[in-house]
Amino acid sequence: MLEKIDLKKKLSKEEYKRVAPDLEIRLGQLQRKIKEHGIPVIIVFEGWGAAGKGTLINKFLLPLDPRGIQVLPTLAPNEEQTLRPFLWRFWIHTPERGRIHIFDRSWYRRVLKERVDDGVDSDDLRNEFDDIRAFERKLTADGTVIVKFFLHISQKEQQKRFRKLEKNPALAWRVNETDWKENEQYEDYVRAVDEMIERTDTGHARWTIVEATDERFATIKIFQGFIHAMEDKLAEIEPQQEAGRADAAGESARSAPVVEGLNASILDKVDLSGEMLDEEYRERKKKCQSRLRELEHELYIRRIPLMIVYEGWDAAGKGGNIRRLVQTLDPRGYEVVPISAPNDIEKAHHYLWRFWIRIPKAGHVTIFDRSWYGRVMVERIEGFCSRVEWRRAYREINEMEGHLTNFGAILIKFWLQIDRDEQIRRFRERENIPHKRWKITSEDWRNREKWDDYRAAVDEMLYRTSTTYAPWTVVESNCKRFARIKAMQTVIERVEQRLEG
């Protein structure tokens, strides 16, 4: 999922000055709360070499009382440490109640650097992920708050920073051969990081990827990430109190200013300018459709199940896109499943049940027009499930998809992206063209008002459920023709990859 992150994110000096002071005050307030309630806090800083861990940790420390906080750098294990199980050196440095321990690199070193450099076999790696999850689960079950940041910069940015350091005689020592090796192996590390996040982004100890190209942006994202995590914890501990005290004592509960766009990295990066003329469209559509029909038979013979998920904004063109995809397929081999609000029987079951009963047999194709992702979009935003429920849903969904793909299924997930202007244009068109009027309801207008909420939810969905085994494909859909070809092309590629693999 790292490759989906928009690394151009920036914050102007003015905007930084507008928001930073209040956030800093809030950090101080929260530290006092941490002490008052005896909450142990662990903050993990992982990230690329030269991503700015040191600087950003300092920015974070500045507004805090140093007596309650400790920074623990994690280097290669020394002899004392290699003579004990790898979690030992972290266990013994877990914070006392009421204290904050910041790990500058951490137990994740094991599944990043040591993994890439030393090569670890798959069984050992699984043990280590299991151990890490168990470690974090034990601590959070006991009341510890764990906040994990991954500071992300591009390969080029890293090169640039290394060169700059090397030019400065006072700092040149900070760059050595292994740093340059990391830069060369950037792609290997990306895969390791993706897998690390996939396997350890749990409801109780979540990862935040921090776009670290711009220091101001990264600083604010870290401040806000920490504040949100602590406010969640406090809401658990003192749900009433917190609100009451805010009015009374001036230590206002959620006083920190909200900085928009901190979490919309993926959608912001999408370039919607792609277009396709009719002629090219017709030609490519024909080719794609005939290839799709061949592949459908191939899948049947090889007994491979294929599942395609369509999600997207209202009026993004899901229906039309799906129709083109299946137009020439053998109807005995595929099924399109439209998903709307659950009925009574469905409501009486686990929310995933209604999808389980519809998964295809091996060799068949099922296309879901909307899907289980409703849990982390409409159900989240409309309050049809609780915060705890939708937050744990990311992992539940990843696990379900892992089970399906382990069985051998190909799972393709499309997010059809349009911008707000395009949506309103299409809404108006639907209202004005009699045979399209049925497509637009007052609900669509209501959803549109919640565009920003949906945007944040979509971004988080793309981020937390884009796995190595079931990645999301964002389909730029301002131009419907472009979108249809991209979807078909993606299906063809993914299926071909699998058939060859």
Q: Does 435 bind a second copy (CB under 8 A)?
A: no
Q: Specify whether the CB–CB gap between 179 and 162 falls below 8 A.
A: yes
Q: Given the structure tokens 């244009």, which residue do they identify?
A: 425
Name beta bridge partners: 378: none
Could you tell me which residues come within 8 angstroms of residue 152 by beta carbon, excluding any fewer than 6 positions away?
2, 5, 7, 47, 48, 51, 209, 210, 211, 212
Count of residues touching a second copy (by CB under 8 A): 50
First to last CA, the chain: 22
Q: How far is the CB of 369 from a second copy (least distance, A)?
A: 21
Q: Which stretch binds a second copy (CB under 8 A): 53-61, 87-95, 216-224, 289-297?
A: 87-95
Residue 58 vs 82, nearer CB to a second copy: 82
Q: Are strands 207-211 and 145-152 parallel, antiparallel or unpaired?
A: parallel
Residue 215 vs 298, nearer CB to a second copy: 298
Q: How far is the CB of 24 from a second copy (least distance, A)?
A: 28
C-alpha–C-alpha distance, residues 123 and 117, integer Å: 17
Q: How far is the CB of 349 from a second copy (least distance, A)?
A: 6
C-alpha–C-alpha distance, residues 446 and 203, integer Å: 30
C-alpha–C-alpha distance, residues 395 and 485, integer Å: 31
Q: Does 239 bind a second copy (CB under 8 A)?
A: no
| One residue of 39, 192, 404, 479 binding a second copy per CB under 8 A | 404
| One residue of 340, 343, 406, 442 binding a second copy per CB under 8 A | 406
Q: Does 298 bind a second copy (CB under 8 A)?
A: no
- Evaluated on CA atoms 209, 214, 217, 223, the torsion sign reads positive
Relative orientation angle of helices 278-302 and 318-326, to the nearest 10 degrees: 60
Interface characters, 105-144, with a second copy (x: CB under 8 A): -----------------xx--xx---x--x---xx-xx-x
Q: How far is the CB of 468 from a second copy (least distance, A)?
A: 15
Using alpha carbons, list the distances in angstroms from residue 399 to 125, 151, 352, 375, 395. Answer: 18, 26, 11, 15, 6
Per-residue 3-state assignment (H helix, E strand, C coil) for 307-359:
EEEEEECCCCCHHHHHHHHHCCCCCCCEEEEECCCCCHHHHCCCCCHHHHCCC
Q: How far is the CB of 487 from a second copy (least distance, A)?
A: 25
Q: How far is the CB of 387 from a second copy (least distance, A)?
A: 14
Q: Does 184 bind a second copy (CB under 8 A)?
A: no
| One residue of 85, 250, 434, 501 binding a second copy per CB under 8 A | 85
Q: Does 241 bind a second copy (CB under 8 A)?
A: no
Binders of a second copy among residues 351 to 370 (CB under 8 A) are: 351-353, 356-357, 359, 361-363
| One residue of 156, 163, 287, 350 binding a second copy per CB under 8 A | 350
Distance of CA 425 to the CA centre of its chain: 30
> What's the DSSP call for residue 410?
E
Q: Does 34 bind a second copy (CB under 8 A)?
A: no
| Chain residues that interact with a second copy, rule: CB under 8 A | 38, 40, 80, 83-88, 91-92, 94, 96-98, 122-123, 126-127, 131, 134, 138-139, 141-142, 144, 303, 305, 345, 348-353, 356-357, 359, 361-363, 392, 396, 399, 402-404, 406-407, 409
